[in-house]
Structure 1
Protein backbone atom coordinates (compact mmCIF):
# COMPACT_ATOMS: atom_id res chain seq x y z
CA UNK A 1 0.00 0.00 0.00
CA UNK A 2 1.51 3.33 -1.09
CA UNK A 3 1.15 5.98 1.62
CA UNK A 4 2.58 9.31 2.68
CA UNK A 5 3.88 9.70 6.23
CA UNK A 6 4.23 12.87 8.29
CA UNK A 7 5.46 13.18 11.87
CA UNK A 8 4.38 16.29 13.78
CA UNK A 9 6.09 17.55 16.95
CA UNK A 10 3.94 18.14 20.00
CA UNK A 11 4.45 21.01 22.42
CA UNK A 12 4.17 20.88 26.19
CA UNK A 13 1.74 18.12 27.14
CA UNK A 14 0.61 17.58 23.53
CA UNK A 15 2.33 14.41 22.23
CA UNK A 16 4.03 13.82 18.87
CA UNK A 17 1.71 12.44 16.19
CA UNK A 18 2.10 10.50 12.96
CA UNK A 19 -0.22 11.00 10.00
CA UNK A 20 -0.68 8.28 7.41
CA UNK A 21 -2.19 9.54 4.16
CA UNK A 22 -3.39 7.75 1.04
CA UNK A 23 -2.12 8.43 -2.47
CA UNK A 24 -4.82 11.14 -2.70
CA UNK A 25 -3.55 12.66 0.59
CA UNK A 26 -6.67 11.68 2.54
CA UNK A 27 -5.87 10.86 6.17
CA UNK A 28 -6.22 7.12 6.76
CA UNK A 29 -4.39 7.05 10.10
CA UNK A 30 -3.56 9.57 12.82
CA UNK A 31 -1.99 8.34 16.03
CA UNK A 32 0.52 9.11 18.77
CA UNK A 33 4.11 8.43 17.78
CA UNK A 34 4.57 6.71 21.14
CA UNK A 35 1.92 4.08 20.27
CA UNK A 36 2.41 2.97 16.64
CA UNK A 37 0.75 -0.43 17.21
CA UNK A 38 -2.65 1.23 17.66
CA UNK A 39 -2.12 3.17 14.44
CA UNK A 40 -1.15 0.07 12.49
CA UNK A 41 -4.32 -1.64 13.73
CA UNK A 42 -6.29 1.43 12.65
CA UNK A 43 -5.04 1.23 9.06
CA UNK A 44 -5.35 -2.56 8.87
CA UNK A 45 -1.73 -3.72 8.82
CA UNK A 46 -1.67 -7.08 10.58
CA UNK A 47 1.28 -8.91 8.99
CA UNK A 48 4.25 -8.97 11.41
CA UNK A 49 6.88 -8.24 8.75
CA UNK A 50 4.92 -5.23 7.47
CA UNK A 51 4.39 -3.99 11.05
CA UNK A 52 8.11 -4.17 11.82
CA UNK A 53 8.98 -2.35 8.59
CA UNK A 54 6.38 0.35 9.33
CA UNK A 55 7.56 0.79 12.93
CA UNK A 56 11.15 1.21 11.71
CA UNK A 57 9.97 3.87 9.23
CA UNK A 58 8.06 5.73 11.96
CA UNK A 59 11.17 5.86 14.16
CA UNK A 60 13.28 7.30 11.32
CA UNK A 61 10.77 9.99 10.33
CA UNK A 62 11.93 13.58 10.64
CA UNK A 63 9.48 16.11 12.06
CA UNK A 64 7.59 18.07 9.43
CA UNK A 65 8.87 16.12 6.40
CA UNK A 66 6.44 14.16 4.23
CA UNK A 67 7.82 10.93 2.84
CA UNK A 68 6.35 8.43 0.41
CA UNK A 69 6.45 4.85 1.68
CA UNK A 70 5.23 1.37 0.86
CA UNK A 71 3.56 -0.32 3.84
Structure 2
Protein backbone atom coordinates (compact mmCIF):
# COMPACT_ATOMS: atom_id res chain seq x y z
CA UNK A 1 0.00 0.00 0.00
CA UNK A 2 1.21 3.50 -0.81
CA UNK A 3 0.56 6.71 1.10
CA UNK A 4 0.53 10.21 -0.38
CA UNK A 5 0.14 13.28 1.82
CA UNK A 6 -1.30 16.28 -0.03
CA UNK A 7 -0.96 19.84 1.31
CA UNK A 8 -4.16 21.86 1.18
CA UNK A 9 -4.26 25.52 0.23
CA UNK A 10 -6.46 28.31 1.58
CA UNK A 11 -9.74 26.72 2.72
CA UNK A 12 -8.89 23.26 1.36
CA UNK A 13 -7.54 21.03 4.16
CA UNK A 14 -4.62 18.59 4.03
CA UNK A 15 -5.52 15.15 2.65
CA UNK A 16 -4.08 11.65 2.58
CA UNK A 17 -4.44 9.14 -0.24
CA UNK A 18 -4.04 5.40 0.30
CA UNK A 19 -3.35 3.43 -2.88
CA UNK A 20 -2.77 -0.25 -3.58
CA UNK A 21 0.19 -1.79 -5.45
CA UNK A 22 -1.47 -1.05 -8.80
CA UNK A 23 -1.87 2.55 -7.58
CA UNK A 24 -5.67 2.32 -7.43
CA UNK A 25 -7.16 4.77 -4.95
CA UNK A 26 -8.38 2.92 -1.84
CA UNK A 27 -9.08 5.81 0.51
CA UNK A 28 -8.95 9.60 0.46
CA UNK A 29 -9.40 11.38 3.78
CA UNK A 30 -8.56 14.53 5.69
CA UNK A 31 -5.50 14.26 7.91
CA UNK A 32 -7.55 15.33 10.93
CA UNK A 33 -10.48 12.90 10.23
CA UNK A 34 -9.19 9.45 9.22
CA UNK A 35 -11.64 7.35 11.28
CA UNK A 36 -14.51 6.60 8.88
CA UNK A 37 -12.33 5.99 5.81
CA UNK A 38 -10.01 3.59 7.58
CA UNK A 39 -12.95 1.76 9.17
CA UNK A 40 -14.58 1.28 5.73
CA UNK A 41 -11.31 -0.07 4.39
CA UNK A 42 -11.02 -2.50 7.31
CA UNK A 43 -7.94 -0.78 8.76
CA UNK A 44 -9.55 0.74 11.85
CA UNK A 45 -7.35 -1.37 14.13
CA UNK A 46 -4.22 0.00 12.42
CA UNK A 47 -5.28 3.66 12.81
CA UNK A 48 -2.51 4.68 15.27
CA UNK A 49 0.22 3.07 13.14
CA UNK A 50 -1.04 4.61 9.88
CA UNK A 51 -1.52 8.09 11.36
CA UNK A 52 1.92 8.04 12.99
CA UNK A 53 3.36 7.16 9.57
CA UNK A 54 1.31 9.92 7.88
CA UNK A 55 2.24 12.57 10.46
CA UNK A 56 5.95 11.90 9.88
CA UNK A 57 5.62 11.91 6.09
CA UNK A 58 6.50 15.15 4.27
CA UNK A 59 3.85 16.69 2.01
CA UNK A 60 3.98 15.64 -1.63
CA UNK A 61 5.92 12.45 -0.99
CA UNK A 62 4.84 8.92 -1.91
CA UNK A 63 5.85 6.25 0.59
CA UNK A 64 5.26 2.50 0.74
CA UNK A 65 3.38 1.36 3.83
CA UNK A 66 3.66 -2.31 4.74
CA UNK A 67 0.55 -3.56 6.48
Q: Give TM-score scaled by structure 2 length.
A: 0.89
* 1:36 Cα deviation from its structure 2 partner: 1.7
Distance 1:22 1:13 in 2: 29
Distance 1:70 1:39 in 2: 18
Q: Confirm whether residue 59 of structure 1 aligns to residue 66 of structure 2.
A: no
Q: Post-superposition, which runs of at least 4 consecutive aligned residues in structure 1 deviate over 3 A?
A: none
Number of residue pairs the alignment of both structures matches: 67
Distance 1:44 1:37 in 2: 11
Q: Give TM-score scaled by structure 1 length.
A: 0.85
Q: CA RMSD in A?
A: 1.1
Q: Which runs of 5+ in 1 are unaligned?
A: none
Partner of 1:18: 16
